[in-house]
Amino acid sequence: MDNNKICIPRVLKNTAYVLAPIILIILIFVIACLSYPMEREAINNKENFIETNIFAEKYASEIFNAFSSVKHFEQNNYDSSSLPFFTYETEVNDNKNIKKIYYITDYYGSNVRWLIINKETKTAYTNIEYSLGTSTFDDVKNQVLSEGKYWNYNNSKLDTTINKLKNVEYVDIRLSQDSKDANNYSIYTSLLDPLEAPDSIYQAKVLYNILLVISPNAMYLIPILVIILIILVPIVVIGIGKKRGHTEIVLNWFDKILIELACFIDLFIGSIGMVFIAVVSDTRDMLTFILGITSIGIGFLIIYLACIHFFETVVKRIKTHTFIKTTFIYWIYKKVKALSKNIKLNNHFIAYFILYIMINILSVLLVFGTPLLGIALFVGFNTWTGMTLVKKIESNTNVKKAIHELYDGKTDINLNENDFCNEDKKVAKEIHDIAGGLSNAIEERLKSERLKTELITNVSHDIKTPLTSIINYVDLLKKENIKGEKANEYLNILDNKSQRLKKLTEDLVEASKASSGAIKLDMEKLNVNELIKQVSGEFEDKFKSHNLEEIVSFPKDELYIEADSRYMYRVLENMYSNIAKYAMDGTRVYIDIIDEDDKIFIKLKNVSKQKLNISVDELMQRFVRGEASRNTEGSGLGLSIARSLTELQNGKFNIYLDGDLFKVTIEFEEKK
C-alpha cells in the first residue's frame, strides 16, 4: 500500500462507526412507533390530533395541574415561595363580585389558557399575562374565551367546543382526586391555536404527527435499516487493524494484554459514562437542562467508545489468531508448561523446601525438650542455608557477567570452576570454552584477512612492474610510426587492454585495503553541497557526451559531515563514473541531498541502459557488474570500494533496484 495514499478500509470503518448508532436509533424509534398502542385507530384513519383521546387526556391533565396549583396556593395562604412559579396580584372593580385576580406564571409555559374562580373567597386565578394590565374582570374572562376551542366547567355544567371533552369524566375524576369541593370553583379554559409552549400537549402532537408519517412506511423502513446495519458490520470488521503503509494487521499494546484485563479496563471506562448519565437529576431551568443533555450525551459517547474499543481488540486478536493466546487460561497453561520443562530443577527445589520446613519444625519441637540442641540445629541449619544461597547468587551473577562480556566481544574470559556451585560449574566451563573458541576464530579470521591483503598487494606489485614495461614499449611502438592499418589497430588494442589491466590492478589494491581497513583516514568537516558541485563539474562533459541531464536538489542551508575529503571524493567519483558508464543515454540523473533527523542522505538515481538481471546482494560483491556482458569498461570493484570506504568513514551505503531504476543512498551523521 502506498504511504502517500489514505487507508480506504480505515476511512470506511470510521464512517460506519458514525453511521451505525444513527441508523440503530432510527430503527429502534421506527420499531417503537410501530408497536406504540396510542391512537392506533386514529393514526390509521389519519384523524386530526384534536379529535384523539390522547389530546383529551393531555388537555384534562393541564386543567388538573392548573387546579392543583390554585389549591396549593390557597392552602399555603397565598405564599408564592412555596411554588415553582411566581404570582402577581391585581385589584379589580367589584363587578361580578370578583375582588382580586392572581396571575400565576407557568415556568415552562402552557398552551391552555385558564381562569379559575373561587366562589367562596371571590378570588380569581389565571395564567393570562393580560391580567396584569387591566382592572376589569370581564376583560380577563373574554381573553380566555376568545380562542375558538374552549372548555368551561361551572355549577357542575360543562360547556365545550372540543368533542372529545364533552364527557365531564375526563376532568371531573381528576378534580375530585384533589378536592371534593371542586363544585365551589368555576373553571374557564381555552386552547391556543397554533400551539406555542412546549408542554405535554405540544409534545403529544409532535409524536402523533411523527407516527402519522412513520407508521404507514414502517414496514418498508425496518428492512432497509436492517440491511444497512448488516452491510456496516463487515465494513467495520474489514477496516479494523488496517493502517496506512501496512498490509498486515497492526496491533498496539492494548491488543497484547490479557483479554480479561482489557475487558475490565473498558468496563471501567464505560462505568465513567454511566456516572455522567446518573448525575443528571433536576433539569427544570434552561441551564440545568442544557447541562443535563450535555452530560447524558457525553455519558453515552464514552460508553459507545468503550464498546468500540473492546470490539476492535477482540476482532484484531481473532484476525491475528492471538485471541486464545491472550486469555488468562492460556497464560496459566504457558506457565504450567514452562514449569514442566524445568521439572528436574523444580523437583530439587521442592524437595529442598520440604526438607527446610521439616528441619525447622524439628528444631522448634526440640526447643521444648532439649532447648540447647533445638537452638543449635535451628541456627546452624539456617546459617548453612543462607551461605548456600549467597554462593548460588554470586555464582549466577558471575555467569551473567561472563555472558554479557562475551556478548560485547570480549573473549579473554577466565572462569574458575571452583568459584561456582553444582550446575553452574558446567555452565562456567562451557562459557570458557566458547570464549576460547571464539577468540581463536577471530584471530584466524584476522590472520586470513592480513594474508589476503598481503597476497593481493604483492601480486599486484609483481604484475605492476611488467605491466609498466608493456605500457612503455607500446607507447614507444606507437611513436615509431609503423605502417600498416592492422599493426596500428593491434597497438591500440594492446594500449587499451594494458591501461585497463593497470586500472584493475590499482582498484584491486584499493579494494583490498578498504575492506581490511588498512587505510589511514584524515577526518575533517566537509561541506556536502560543495563536494557534490565539485564532482558534478568533473563529470559534466562525460554526462553531456551520453546526453544525460543531471538534476541536483540542494537544500537551502549548508550541510556538513565528518569524513576524509580524499576518500569521500573517491566514493562519489565511483558513483558518478558508474552512472556515466551504465545509465541509459538521453535520460535524467537525479542527485538529492536531504537533511532528516540529524542525518545527511545523498541519493543518486538513474535508469540503467541494460536490464538489471541481478540481485542487490550479488551486485555488492567484488568483480560483479549489473549487466550480463563482460565486455564493457570497468572492473566490477567500484561499488565494493565505495561501500567499504563509506563504512570506514562511519557512514552507510545502500543500493535499491526497482526494475531498471538504480538508486544509491549514502548516509552520514550531520556535523553541526
Can you tell me the mean pLDDT for 296-307?
Answer: 92
pLDDT tens for each residue of 552-593:
998 888 889 998 888 888 888 888 988 888 899 999 999 999
| Domain shared by 629 and 572, yes or no | yes
- Whole-number pLDDT of residue 298: 92
**Nearest by Cα to 118 from 163, 65, 88, 74:** 74
> Which residues is 526 bridged to in the sheet?
561
Extract the C-alpha cell encoding 528. Answer: 556536502
| Domain shared by 525 and 655, yes or no | yes
Full residue range of the structural domain in which residue 447 is found? 441-518
The angle subtended at Cα 245 by Cα 242 and Cα 248, nearest 5°, is 45
* Domain final residue, candidates 197, 212, 235: 197
| Domain shared by 464 and 594, yes or no | no
| Among 76-80, 142-146, 309-313, the least confident range | 76-80
Q: Are strands 87-91 and 100-104 parallel, antiparallel or unpaired?
A: antiparallel
**Nearest by Cα to 577 from 613, 543, 611:** 543
Extract the C-alpha cell encoding 631. Answer: 565486455
Extract the C-alpha cell encoding 153. Answer: 366547567
**Nearest by Cα to 667 from 559, 573, 590:** 559
Q: Is residue 24 part of a domain?
A: no
Q: Does an H or E element contain 25, and which?
A: helix 8-35
| Among 145-154, 479-488, 506-515, the least confident range | 506-515
Strand ranges inside 172-324, DSSP E: 185-191
Extract the C-alpha cell encoding 427. Answer: 555452565
| Domain shared by 483 and 525, yes or no | no
| Domain shared by 118 and 184, yes or no | yes
| Domain shared by 537 and 459, yes or no | no
- Whole-number pLDDT of residue 421: 66
Tell me what the pLDDT averaged over the chain comes to. 78
| Domain shared by 71 and 192, yes or no | yes
Q: Is residue 34 part of a domain?
A: no
* Domain final residue, candidates 197, 215, 244: 197
3-class DSSP assignment, residue 552: strand
Sign of CA dihedral 145, 146, 147, 148: positive
- Whole-number pLDDT of residue 622: 44
Res. 38 pLDDT band, cuts 50 70 90: low
* Domain final residue, candidates 197, 228, 254: 197
Looking at per-residue pLDDT, the higher value among 369 and 243 belongs to 243
Got the DSSP string for 141-194?
HHHHHTSSEEEEEETTEEEES-GGG-STHHHHHHHHHH-TTGGGEEEEEEE-SS
Q: Is residue 364 part of a domain?
A: yes
| Domain shared by 55 and 131, yes or no | yes
| Domain shared by 455 and 504, yes or no | yes
User: Is residue 126 pLDDT above 80, yes or no?
Assistant: yes
- Whole-number pLDDT of residue 601: 92
| Domain shared by 449 and 562, yes or no | no
| Domain shared by 161 and 122, yes or no | yes
Looking at per-residue pLDDT, the higher value among 207 and 454 belongs to 207
Cβ-based neighbour number of residue 476 at 10 Å: 9
3-class DSSP assignment, residue 70: helix
